[in-house]
Amino acid sequence: MKKAGALVLSLLICLTLGMSALAAPVSPSTEVRVSRLVVNGEERNVEELIVTPVAETEASSEVRTWLERLSPEGALAELIDQRLAGMRLATLFDAYYTGGTIENVTITFELPGIRAGETVYCIHYHDDAWEVIEPDNVADNQVTVTFDSLSPVGFVVEQDSAAASAAGVSPKTGAADTMTYVIVLALAAAAGAGFSCRKLRRG
């Protein structure tokens, strides 16, 4: 009976972990690099721009809260703009310029997996609302965007983009793969429990 109980417990744990995995938000790429910085028309040292990936922010931070709200499927279009329907969040981070006042700033971000010609949108949190900015240029692994202020920034890409895959979950099969794995484990545990019970009854 102890073995059967242990197997049933394993079944419950598998189901619990599976539900947690499906409920957790997608984790966008934590690698955010800047290769060029132009502030008010002048080239500046990229080190003057502090970029903090969501994974390094405090648990109570605004950017982390927005990650949880924007990650579920359909949330981008519902909460920000219909142009983002069917797309996914590839990265989200906080950006801060340390070199003085900004009238406009043009930044070239390194975004692994992006290819020239892909549809990419930048989202920028400004005046308590998200705005959608179309990039100045989309090249292989690079996106250039101009802002008139800085705060939480993210990039939204096509579902089948390599940049979406780099975010940590397969763009179309991530949730399904997780659920399949959970079901297989659950069935295995249930079968083992039934077998053990039958052996005990026969004994």
pLDDT tens digits, one per residue of 59-110 = 668 888 898 899 898 999 999 999 999 999 999 999 999 999 999 999 999 9
Work out whether the CA dihedral 27, 30, 34, 35 comes out positive or negative: negative
| CATH dotted code for 28-167 | 2.60.220
Q: For 202, phi and psi rounded to 5 degrees?
A: -65, -35
- What are the boundaries of each domain within the chain? 1-26+181-203, 28-167
Q: How many CA atoms lie within 13 A of 19 on its CB side?
A: 5
**pTM score, whole prediction:** 0.68
Q: Which residue has the higher pLDDT, 62 or 183?
A: 62
pLDDT tens, residue by residue, 1-50: 555 555 444 544 444 444 433 333 335 555 689 999 999 999 999 999 99
Determine the Cα–Cα distance for residues 90 and 52; give it in Å rounded to an integer: 15
Q: What's the rounded mean pLDDT across residues 176-202?
A: 47
Q: Locate 13 and state its tokens.
A: 């744990």
